[in-house]
């Protein structure tokens, strides 16, 4: 071990900026030698990544890779200056040595970390806001298509729920609760400064679900993700920030680093851990006969009687067909990533390529992505820098109609076709039942696919105009070409009547943005000041061209060119926005912090009477642990108090022309063009306004072996964008208006601990939990969600279920007794009432990482409690004979009332009365709480001696599993489901494939 | 260098500020502001076409469904609750089908109101006075049809006669009585008849005869027998119309036969997939609407159905209706008024007027066309019953049976619905909430 000389650490932000900017001075012509080494943490001996290693005199430097290693050409008599945020700086003389390993001690303050924030980076110490940072490395083991889903359970206050088990499908993502009914609840996503589109461009329906455009981005190219949660952090994004902002930083090279190659590969399988329980054929027949008798019809004509008597055969003669196991399969997962990064004194680069392929457990659904990433930074001279970030990817999906709706519905055909009905007719042709397609036909012939070509690119230039005054200009585009095709052949329901049906749809979406900023930093004495001003101009255009063809020669001809009848359409619309923004940061002595942000946004979407909106925020923080009276308390290593308030907006859901009185075309008759009144305008239409306050505390105990972050927040959203129902007599169904108010309040708690830390063994734990109370404060007219079991009503939460309340099943008669809520002696639509909601009361995650010598082990749980699910599968599956041979029946139906005295919640079987015809009823609302073993990973890093022999830097092999254990109360296979991508519907299950259980084996090699 | 960059920022900034207003102007390229929606010949024509399109929206599927599944000839055989509720005549106020029909009718009325308000103001040399009258007449007819269909389904409704251009227009319109609603229909039909042209071939746009035919039906509903007789006769005597044989000729291509007084045409670019609700899975349909067993036995009885058994296909348990049958192209018309109806309107009117021979003669025209022997009804009562039965068979899958039973107050006798409240559909639940003037029908 070398003796280290400790020096006083420079102020962290200053250090960061210096290493970032001034690493460019030429190498002295002197005896230079190559020096290699590893930087480890004192005590734990964990390699430290991102440590700046600089030759003091020669003024050249590099930083360590993820294995803590560096290599550098330096004068043999120079001194290495080793600095890392959160660690004490070290000066290490070279003395002609070529291998220099150094250990560095952590400083007591864990707030040293640098956090990416809007239009900049701040040290965690100076934050006045609630920002969570996730390193992409920590979440990469979850084998899903997109990084947003990988965040599930990782960030306190961020609720993420997969809608389906199909890779690449949209997910439910909420930061601190639901603030909006119609303007969208997704956060703003910004990748390397580019505002990207996260709204699906999909036009060919897969029946409710939608693809996730974020799956175009390869998670392996991501360095870190910042989640901006409160107003102080997000106000600089103004009218789009009310749902929080996700900032994604992609990987870049490092200056003065030899080319570094990283290769990662995994291969694995996925399957469904549990499916639905349906009755057998004989059981189905028994139920239907029972309904017949209970309806008072003569037993002699019951449906399931001897075939010779004209019946469908006796119940016990009925066969049972298991379609569910036909449609679910063991899927195959594979992923390969290769990257090269490095740099010299003036240039740094990162080149990455990736390929990912995932088969869904539900047949005919595949996801593939090939991606390419190129980041480059170039110093033109000591004052001017330019650079570029580029991401090009191609996502190819084969789809199916997974969701609601019988036609072509692949899961519905499997799940809802009665089990006793055969797959083939007596003549050998495919049998179709109950409006569903034949499942074998769908499995063989479903032909729906889409290709997304995505380019996300940015160019920037930076110039130091004066000392501490920096100008930056940035030009970006997010371009997405989404090309979909479907062909329904003549054996499918969609294609049989029209002799084949094909649809092609091509959507092109371009968002361009240019931003200019000026930033200034100064540190006179104990004062520290930062100023940022900027403007941004952006536009978005989406064009859609679609064509449909029917009547094909035969099923070998699938392109519309061969269709006898064709129709086509095109459309195009866009919007523009102009913004100005600014930030003022101030701190005194590194103890007292203040920050002020403001943004002004004007958009072509807003009504002419309300075109500009302003969004300010102010935040304060006190780093109490810097005060001497707390510094003396040994147990407390960090204590920081934060408070902020601000206003942000949300404009997502406003249509491009929603504020205007318009007539639309396309209302044709007799093949003549027709026009109809389309919408009533509203010249005052504007963004939704969210006022948010946040109180936070950061606490580090026992030298930060325990660190705690706690936030209390309150969000109040007004001017809610609503489609207010209009009197029908107007001829319009609704008008876009700003009415309504919603509040969210809650807390977030994150605890991370270092339980054991020594050279051999480390064990760290992190836990987070959040609680959110959502309430619709003002809504003059209740709004039904698109699935009407959910209704939004003033005084209740969003995603509340609105149903007839089934009180009990009368033990004497077997009839369901419903609550006469309005007490008028009859059961009418007025008797529906709120019965629970789909939002969890508590949710979060628990992660444990263990490392013993070369082994690493991590186990991650995520959980949610208190949410309800409307199990609409049961509505169809437990329909008491009303659907006879048109729907499958589930096992729970067998628990029906049969004789006086039976106590059950499943009413007497009959097609008459309200036992099975009222909908929706509370009987199908179930508890959706769950704890899931999200991922489990065991890895082994080969000993250095071995890897050096084969000329590699490091090799790690691992096995990882997802979803290996699930605790739930829900009757369906998986409580994490949703029938639709419609954000206003949550927790509504209707034929949704469950989350797969997966296992994968992988290897990471670094050269 | 530095000053260069500074000046670029400065100039750029100034430029942006000054052009900001213009930059934020984005013009829709597939829509017109309302105040420019009807200004010349082309937009006036397009507005009327749009109004027909809105009539298609409610007549393609929802309105004929309301007129059939609610009664005894058609039963529910699907999976969706809204149809089950209609079949059981236990219709909640949020029933999807009734809500859709109600809303779409008012959309058509708003289009008609717009044309009635703005077309007279158009001064375009390309729009002749004759064409202007025609367009206006069509608008009056569409409004009349809309309010008639509302009246017979929901009872007296709110009479909105102005186009909606702002929110205040929607306020303060109370429900009218059924009499008042029908009065409005009559007023519009009188204007329409006056303004509309008549030619020898048009059957898919309103003409003088179309207005007269609807007027005959209106009078029948109002029990104004002499007028019903008179207007039915005016249409029947028009050589443009004649009963077709075989029966199925009017619902097999080419459509628009002489049978048709008014039908809405669909095409490859403007599809009608109503067949899908009638056809069984094996033929690519949903089979939600199924001919009832009692109807099947009647229509297969040569003495009742005759050649009208071509309305059904399939055997045994799998009989299905084929009035809407273009499963390959989805171009079935919506049959709104057939000449056969005018005969039965006149038969009923004449029977009520004690002209039993005249009534019998009209009734037998319909029976003979289907290859069914003359009716043996001899008394007024028998004759009215025979006409009711004939209507039931003749228009089994069109929007007739339920409305006939309601108008003749026979719902209780035939369907056993004793509570008269349920003889009209409920207003949409959402409308009750959003419109203080919309008063729900009793019992809902």
Q: Rounded to an integer, what is the distance from CA B304 to the centroid of its chain?
A: 27
d(Cα B4, Cα B375) in Å, to the nearest integer? 101
Q: Measuring CA to CA, which residue among B148, B165, B280 is closest to residue B218?
A: B148
Q: Rounded to an integer, what is the distance from CA A826 to the centroid of its chain?
A: 45
Sign for the CA dihedral angle at A302, A308, A312, A314 comes to positive
d(Cα A339, Cα A366) in Å, to the nearest integer? 25
CA neighbours within 13 Å on the CB side: how many for A439?
24
Confidence of residue B18 (pLDDT cuts 50, 70, 90): low
Q: What is the mean pLDDT of residues A971-978?
A: 92
Confidence of residue B345 (pLDDT cuts 50, 70, 90): very high
C-beta neighbour count of A300 within 10 angstroms? 8
Confidence of residue B106 (pLDDT cuts 50, 70, 90): very high
Shortest distance, CA A819 to any CA of chain B (angstroms) = 16
Integer angstrom CA distances of residue B360 from B171, B354, B394: 50, 11, 16
Sign for the CA dihedral angle at B427, B431, B437, B439 comes to positive
Q: Measuring CA to CA, which residue among B113, B167, B428 is closest to residue A726?
A: B167
Q: Measuring CA to CA, which residue among B271, B264, B333, B282 is closest to residue A551?
A: B271
Beta bridge partners of A518: A471, A533
Q: What is the pLDDT of residues B281-297, one digit of tens each?
A: 888 888 999 999 999 99
Asked if A662's CB is within 8 angstroms of B34's CB, the reply is yes
Return the structure tokens found at A9: 């650490």
Q: Are strands A32-41 and A102-104 parallel, antiparallel or unpaired?
A: parallel
In chain B, what residues touch A465 (CB-CB under 8 Å)?
A: 2, 5-6
Q: Which of A576, A668, A673 sits opposite B24 (nearest CB)?
A: A576
List the single range of A74-83, B182-191, B217-226 with lowest mean pLDDT: A74-83
Regarding the domain delimited by B38-267+334-420, which CATH topology (the fold level of the hierarchy) does it fall under?
A: 1.25.40
Element housing A869 (H / E)? strand A868-871
Q: Measuring CA to CA, which residue among A36, A23, A104 is closest to residue A70?
A: A36
Confidence of residue B17 (pLDDT cuts 50, 70, 90): low
pLDDT score recorded for residue A607: 84
pLDDT score recorded for residue B34: 84
Start-to-end CA distance of chain B, whole Å, equals 78
pLDDT, mean over chain B: 92
Q: What is the pLDDT of residues A907-957, one digit of tens each?
A: 999 988 889 988 899 999 999 999 999 999 999 999 988 888 888 889 999
pLDDT score recorded for residue B434: 87
Asked if B92's CB is within 8 angstroms of A677's CB, the reply is no
d(Cα A216, Cα A191) in Å, to the nearest integer? 12
Residue bearing the bigger pLDDT, B298 or A257:
B298
Pure H helices in A313-420: 324-327, 410-416
Phi, psi of A840 (to 5 degrees): -70, 150
Beta bridge partners of A386: A378, A461
pLDDT score recorded for residue A631: 79
Integer angstrom CA distances of residue B324 from A122, B71, B278, B328: 69, 19, 8, 11
Q: Measuring CA to CA, which residue among A584, A578, A612, A767 is closest to residue A687?
A: A612
C-beta neighbour count of A899 within 10 angstroms? 8
Among A730, A733, A736, most B C-beta atoms within 10 A, so best to mutate, is A730
pLDDT score recorded for residue A7: 38
Q: Which residue of B has its CA nearest to A466?
A: B2
Q: Which of B16, B77, B84 sits opposite A537 (nearest CB)?
A: B16
Asked if B106's CB is within 8 angstroms of A498's CB, the reply is no
Beta bridge partners of A562: none
Return the structure tokens found at A536: 């941004």
Return the structure tokens found at A311: 């019946």
Q: Is the confidence at residue A102, as pLDDT, over 60?
A: yes
Confidence of residue B136 (pLDDT cuts 50, 70, 90): very high
Q: Is the confidence at residue A778, as pLDDT, over 80?
A: yes
Q: What is the pLDDT of residues A135-152, one digit of tens each?
A: 888 888 888 889 999 999
Q: What is the pLDDT of residues A789-833, one digit of tens each?
A: 899 999 999 999 999 999 999 999 999 999 999 998 888 888 999
pLDDT score recorded for residue A50: 77
Residue bearing the bigger pLDDT, B214 or A854:
B214
pLDDT, mean over chain A: 89
Q: What is the mean pLDDT of residues B136-146?
A: 98
| DSSP-assigned letter for residue A679 | E
| DSSP-assigned letter for residue B34 | G
Find out whether A908 and A294 touch, Cβ atoms under 8 Å.
Answer: yes
Find out whether B384 and B260 touch, Cβ atoms under 8 Å.
Answer: no
Phi, psi of A851 (to 5 degrees): -140, 125
Among A304, A417, A435, A569, most B C-beta atoms within 10 A, so best to mutate, is A435
Asked if A465's CB is within 8 angstroms of B6's CB, the reply is yes
Pure H helices in B155-174: none
C-beta neighbour count of A850 within 10 angstroms? 17
% chain A with pLDDT above 70:
96
Shortest distance, CA B406 to any CA of chain A (angstroms) = 23
pLDDT score recorded for residue A955: 93
Confidence of residue A86 (pLDDT cuts 50, 70, 90): low
Q: What is the mean pLDDT of residues A455-464?
A: 95
Asked if A680's CB is within 8 angstroms of B433's CB, the reply is no
Shortest distance, CA A142 to any CA of chain B (angstroms) = 39
Q: Is the confidence at residue B128, as pLDDT, over 50?
A: yes
pLDDT score recorded for residue A126: 85
Q: Measuring CA to CA, which residue among A470, A505, A463 is closest to residue A486?
A: A505
> Which domains does chain A show, CATH number per domain?
5-107 (2.60.40.1120), 147-268+350-870+971-1006 (2.40.170)
Q: Are strands A188-191 and A245-250 parallel, antiparallel or unpaired?
A: parallel
Q: What is the pLDDT of residues A351-367, one digit of tens each?
A: 999 999 999 999 999 99
d(Cα A507, Cα A510) in Å, to the nearest integer? 10
pLDDT score recorded for residue B19: 64
d(Cα A921, Cα A905) in Å, to the nearest integer? 12
CA-based angle A675:A678:A679, to the nearest 5? Answer: 150
pLDDT score recorded for residue A983: 79
d(Cα A698, Cα A112) in Å, to the nearest integer? 13
pLDDT score recorded for residue A23: 36
pLDDT score recorded for residue B229: 97
In chain A, what residues touch B18 (CB-CB under 8 Å)?
A: none
Asked if B79's CB is within 8 angstroms of A876's CB, the reply is yes
pLDDT score recorded for residue B2: 47
Q: What is the pLDDT of residues A635-690, one digit of tens each?
A: 888 999 999 999 999 988 788 888 889 999 989 999 999 999 999 988 889 899 99
Residue bearing the bigger pLDDT, A723 or A15:
A723
Q: What is the mean pLDDT of residues A77-100?
A: 80
Return the structure tokens found at A11: 């102020």
Q: Which of B53, B103, B265 sits opposite A667 (nearest CB)?
A: B53
pLDDT score recorded for residue A112: 58
Find out whether B147 and B184 touch, Cβ atoms under 8 Å.
Answer: yes
Q: What length is written for chain A?
A: 1007
Confidence of residue A106 (pLDDT cuts 50, 70, 90): low
Q: Which of A656, A677, A735 sits opposite B110 (nearest CB)?
A: A677
Q: What is the pLDDT of residues B73-82, one digit of tens each?
A: 999 998 888 9
Confidence of residue A27 (pLDDT cuts 50, 70, 90): very low
pLDDT score recorded for residue A109: 45
Q: What is the pLDDT of residues A899-915, one digit of tens each?
A: 999 999 999 999 888 89
Q: Is the confidence at residue A15, as pLDDT, over 90?
A: no
Q: What is the pLDDT of residues B310-336, one digit of tens each?
A: 999 998 888 999 999 998 889 999 999
d(Cα A708, Cα A639) in Å, to the nearest integer? 10
Confidence of residue A626 (pLDDT cuts 50, 70, 90): confident
Q: What is the mean pLDDT of residues A154-183?
A: 90
% chain B with pLDDT above 70:
95
Q: Measuring CA to CA, which residue among A397, A384, A32, A467 is closest to residue A216?
A: A397
pLDDT score recorded for residue A14: 39
Q: What is the mean pLDDT of residues B101-112?
A: 97
Q: Which of B16, B45, B276 sits opposite A578 (nearest CB)?
A: B16
Q: What is the mean pLDDT of residues B161-189?
A: 92
State whether residue B327 is helix, strand or coil: coil
CA neighbours within 13 Å on the CB side: how many for A920?
25
Q: What is the pLDDT of residues A200-255, one digit of tens each?
A: 999 998 887 889 999 999 999 999 999 999 999 999 999 999 999 999 999 999 88
Find out whether A73 and A62 touch, Cβ atoms under 8 Å.
Answer: no
Q: What is the mean pLDDT of residues A779-795?
A: 87
Q: What is the pLDDT of residues B230-271, one digit of tens each?
A: 999 999 999 999 999 999 999 998 999 999 999 999 998 899
Edge-to-edge strand ranges of the sheet holding B31-33:
A676-679, A662-664, B31-33
The beta strands (E) that lie in A467-562 are given as 469-488, 501-522, 527-550
Q: Is the confidence at residue A46, as pLDDT, over 80?
A: no
Q: Is the confidence at residue A868, as pLDDT, over 90?
A: yes
Find out whether A656 and A698 touch, Cβ atoms under 8 Å.
Answer: no
Shortest distance, CA B202 to any CA of chain A (angstroms) = 12
Size of interface A-B (CB pairs under 8 A): 261
Confidence of residue A77 (pLDDT cuts 50, 70, 90): confident
Q: Is the confidence at residue A28, as pLDDT, over 60?
A: no
């Amino acid at each position: 071990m070398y003796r280290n000389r400790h020096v006083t650490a420079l102020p962290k932000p200053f250090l960061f900026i210096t290493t970032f900017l001034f690493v460019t001075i030429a190498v002295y012509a002197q005896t230079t030698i190559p020096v290699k080494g590893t930087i480890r943490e004192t005590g734990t001996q964990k390699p430290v990544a991102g440590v700046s290693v600089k030759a003091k005199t020669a003024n050249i430097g590099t930083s360590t890779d993820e294995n803590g290693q560096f290599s550098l050409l330096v004068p043999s008599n120079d001194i290495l200056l080793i600095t890392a945020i959160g660690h004490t700086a070290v000066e290490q003389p070279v003395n002609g040595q070529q291998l220099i390993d150094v250990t560095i001690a952590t400083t007591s303050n864990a707030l040293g970390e640098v956090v990416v924030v809007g239009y900049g980076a701040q040290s965690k110490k100076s934050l006045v806001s609630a920002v969570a940072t996730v390193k992409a490395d920590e979440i990469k083991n979850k084998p899903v298509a997109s990084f947003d889903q990988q965040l599930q359970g990782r960030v306190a206050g961020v609720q993420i729920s997969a809608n389906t088990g199909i890779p690449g499908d949209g997910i439910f993502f909420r930061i601190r609760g639901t603030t909006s009914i119609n303007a969208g609840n997704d956060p703003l996503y910004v990748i390397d400064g580019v505002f990207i589109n996260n709204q699906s461009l999909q036009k060919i329906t897969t029946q409710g679900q939608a693809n996730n455009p974020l799956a175009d981005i390869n998670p392996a190219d991501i360095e870190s993700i910042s989640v901006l949660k409160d107003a102080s952090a997000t106000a600089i994004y103004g009218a789009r920030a009310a749902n929080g902002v996700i900032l994604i930083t992609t990987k870049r090279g490092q200056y003065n680093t030899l080319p570094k190659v990283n290769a990662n590969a995994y291969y694995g399988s996925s399957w469904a851990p549990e499916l639905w329980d349906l009755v057998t054929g004989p059981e189905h027949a028994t139920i239907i006969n029972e309904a017949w008798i209970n309806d008072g019809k003569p037993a002699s004509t019951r449906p399931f009687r001897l075939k010779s008597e004209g019946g469908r055969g006796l119940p016990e003669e009925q066969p049972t067909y298991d379609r569910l196991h036909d449609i679910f399969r063991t899927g195959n997962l594979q992923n390969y990533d290769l990257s090269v990064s490095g740099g010299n004194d003036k240039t740094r680069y990162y080149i990455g390529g990736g390929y990912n392929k995932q088969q869904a457990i539900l047949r005919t659904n595949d996801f593939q992505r090939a991606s390419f990433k190129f980041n480059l930074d170039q110093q033109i001279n000591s004052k001017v820098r330019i650079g570029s970030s580029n991401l090009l990817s191609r996502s190819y999906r084969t789809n199916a109609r997974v969701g609601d709706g019988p036609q072509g519905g692949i899961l519905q055909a499997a799940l809802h076709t009665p089990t006793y009905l055969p797959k083939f007719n007596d003549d050998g042709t495919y049998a179709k039942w109950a409006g569903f397609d034949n499942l074998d036909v769908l499995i063989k012939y479903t032909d729906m696919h889409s290709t997304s070509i995505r380019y996300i690119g940015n160019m920037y230039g930076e110039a130091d105009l004066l000392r501490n005054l920096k100008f930056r200009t940035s030009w970006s585009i997010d371009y997405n070409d989404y090309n979909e095709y479907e062909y329904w052949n003549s054996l499918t329901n969609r294609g049989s009547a029209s002799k084949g049906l094909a649809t092609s749809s091509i959507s092109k979406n371009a968002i361009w943005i240019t931003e200019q900023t000026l930033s200034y930093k100064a540190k006179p004495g104990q004062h520290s000041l930062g100023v940022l001003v900027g403007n941004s101009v952006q536009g978005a255009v989406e064009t859609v061209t679609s064509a449909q063809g029917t009547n094909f020669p035969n099923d070998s001809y699938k392109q519309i060119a061969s269709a006898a009848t064709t129709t086509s359409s095109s459309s195009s619309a866009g919007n523009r926005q102009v913004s100005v923004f600014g930030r003022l940061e101030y701190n005194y002595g590194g103890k007292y912090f203040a920050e002020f942000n403001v943004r002004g946004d004007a958009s072509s979407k807003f009504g002419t009477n309300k075109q500009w909106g302003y969004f300010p925020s102010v935040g304060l923080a006190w780093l109490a642990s810097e005060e001497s009276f707390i510094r003396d308390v040994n147990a407390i290593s960090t204590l920081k108090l934060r408070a902020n308030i601000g206003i942000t907006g949300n404009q997502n859901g406003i249509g491009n022309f929603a504020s205007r009185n318009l007539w639309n075309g396309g209302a044709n008759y007799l093949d003549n063009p027709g026009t109809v009144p389309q919408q009533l305008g509203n010249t005052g239409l504007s963004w939704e306004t969210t006022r948010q306050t946040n109180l936070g505390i950061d606490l580090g105990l026992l030298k930060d072996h325990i660190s705690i972050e706690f936030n209390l927040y309150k969000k109040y959203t007004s001017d809610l964008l609503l489609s207010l129902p209009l009197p029908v007599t107007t001829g319009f169904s609704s008008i876009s208006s700003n009415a309504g108010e919603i509040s969210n309040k809650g807390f977030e708690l994150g605890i991370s601990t270092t339980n054991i830390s020594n050279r051999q063994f480390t064990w760290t734990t992190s836990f987070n939990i959040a609680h959110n109370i959502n309430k619709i404060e003002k809504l003059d007219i209740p709004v039904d969600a698109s699935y009407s079991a959910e209704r939004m009503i003033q005084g209740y939460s969003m995603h509340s279920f609105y149903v007839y309340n089934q009180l009990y099943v009368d033990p004497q008669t077997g009839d369901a007794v419903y609550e006469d809520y309005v007490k008028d002696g009859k059961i009418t639509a007025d008797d529906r009432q709120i019965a629970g909601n789909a939002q969890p009361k508590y949710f979060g995650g628990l992660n444990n990482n263990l490392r013993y010598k070369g082994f690493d082990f991590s186990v991650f749980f995520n959980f949610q409690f208190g949410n309800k699910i409307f199990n609409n599968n049961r509505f169809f599956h437990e329909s008491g004979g009303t659907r006879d041979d048109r729907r499958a029946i589930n096992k729970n139906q067998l628990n029906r009332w049969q004789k006086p005295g039976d106590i059950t919640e499943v009413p007497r079987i009959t097609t008459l009365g309200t036992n099975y015809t009222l909908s929706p009823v509370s009987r199908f609302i179930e508890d959706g709480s769950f704890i899931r073993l999200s991922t489990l990973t065991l890895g082994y890093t080969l000993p250095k001696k071995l890897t050096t022999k084969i000329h590699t830097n490091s090799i790690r092999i691992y096995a990882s599993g997802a979803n290996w254990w699930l605790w739930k109360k829900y009757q369906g296979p998986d409580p994490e489901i949703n029938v639709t991508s419609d954000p206003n519907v949550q927790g509504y299950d209707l034929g949704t494939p469950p989350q797969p259980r997966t296992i994968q084996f992988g290897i990471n090699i670094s050269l | 260098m530095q000053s260069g960059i500074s000046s670029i920022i400065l100039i750029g900034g100034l430029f942006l500020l000054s052009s900001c207003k213009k930059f934020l102007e984005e013009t829709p390229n597939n829509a017109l502001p309302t105040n420019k929606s009807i200004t010349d010949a082309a937009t006036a024509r397009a507005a009327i076409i749009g109004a027909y399109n809105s009539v298609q929206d409610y007549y393609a599927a929802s309105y004929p469904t309301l007129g059939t599944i609610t009664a005894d000839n058609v039963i529910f055989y699907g999976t969706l609750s809204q149809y089950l509720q209609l079949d059981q005549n236990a219709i909640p106020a949020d029933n999807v089908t009734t809500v859709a029909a109600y809303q779409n009718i008012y959309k058509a009325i708003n289009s008609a109101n717009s044309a009635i308000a703005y077309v007279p103001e158009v001064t375009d040399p390309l729009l002749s006075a004759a064409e202007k009258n025609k367009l206006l007449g069509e608008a009056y007819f569409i409004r009349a049809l809309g309010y008639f269909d509302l009246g017979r389904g929901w009872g007296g409704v709110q009479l909105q006669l102005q186009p909606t251009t702002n929110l205040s227009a929607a306020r303060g319109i109370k429900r009218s009585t059924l009499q008042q609603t029908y009065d409005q229909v009559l007023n519009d039909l009188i204007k329409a008849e006056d303004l509309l042209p008549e030619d020898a071939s048009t059957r898919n746009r309103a003409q003088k005869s179309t207005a007269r035919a609807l007027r005959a039906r209106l009078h029948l509903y109002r029990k104004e027998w002499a007028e019903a007789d008179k207007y039915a006769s005016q249409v029947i005597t028009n050589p443009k119309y004649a009963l077709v044989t075989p029966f199925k000729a009017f619902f097999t291509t080419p459509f628009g036969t002489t049978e048709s007084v008014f039908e809405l045409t669909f095409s490859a670019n403007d599809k009608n997939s109503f067949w899908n609700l009638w056809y069984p899975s094996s033929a690519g349909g949903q089979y939600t609407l199924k001919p009832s067993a009692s109807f099947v036995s009647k229509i297969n009885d040569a003495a009742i159905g005759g050649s009208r058994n071509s309305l059904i296909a399939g055997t045994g348990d799998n009989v299905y209706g084929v009035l809407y049958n273009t499963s390959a192209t989805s171009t079935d018309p919506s049959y709104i008024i057939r000449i056969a109806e005018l005969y039965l309107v006149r038969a009923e009117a004449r029977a009520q007027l004690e002209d039993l021979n005249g009534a019998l003669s009209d009734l037998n025209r319909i029976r003979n066309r289907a290859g069914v022997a003359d009716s043996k009804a001899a008394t007024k009562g028998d004759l009215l019953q025979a006409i009711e039965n004939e209507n039931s068979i003749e228009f089994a899958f069109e929007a007739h049976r339920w409305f006939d039973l309601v108008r003749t107050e026979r719902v209780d006798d035939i369907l056993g619905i004793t509570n008269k409240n349920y003889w009209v559909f409920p207003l949409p639940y959402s409308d009750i909430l959003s419109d203080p003037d919309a008063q729900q029908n009793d019992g809902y």
